[in-house]
Amino acid sequence: MPQLVSGALLGLQCVLALDPFRPGNGATQYIPGSCRPVSRPHDADESHARAFDAEPGDLLVLAAATWHRSGRNDSTANRTAILLSFVERWIRPMTGPPEPGRWAATPKLRLLLGIERPAETINGVPIT
């Protein structure tokens, strides 16, 4: 992100392992405590990185500001997971929406994919 934001916890990143996660097959890497204070890690911080060594069904929950990345998969097998992100409504995803196509053909699908946002409401009443 070009500008770092600090203060309250703005979001959670969750990784649900569907396959075993090991350092050799691309296990998620993270730097413990890197969300406090919010700052960019230095190259030396990489030596403090840990791998999410997990079995299928294990869940890693991180403050979204924690520095994390996918590890390198040197194995011949896929390593799959479900990624979940919980953020304040005003935070936009860091990735762009998918290319136009049939999957975004209806308003409901565009809302589900995050291409469009529903109107802001309080108890179902639109905010103007």
CB count within 10 Å of CB 97 equals 13
Same domain, 26 and 46: yes
Per the confidence metrics, is the pTM higher than 0.85?
A: no
Q: Which domain holds residue 73?
A: 11-91
Question: Checking DSSP bridges between strand 11-17 and strand 81-87, what pairing results, if any?
Answer: antiparallel
Does residue 6 lie within any of the structural domains? no
Does residue 23 lie within any of the structural domains? yes
Does residue 2 lie within any of the structural domains? no
Does residue 47 lie within any of the structural domains? yes
pLDDT computed for residue 52 by the predictor: 93
Q: Which two tokens stand for residue 51?
A: 């791998």
Of 87, 83, 114, 82, the residue nearest 98 (C-alpha): 114
What are the pLDDT digits (tens) for 57-104? 999 999 988 888 888 899 999 899 998 888 877 776 666 656 667 777
- Model confidence at 53, in pLDDT bands (50, 70, 90)? very high
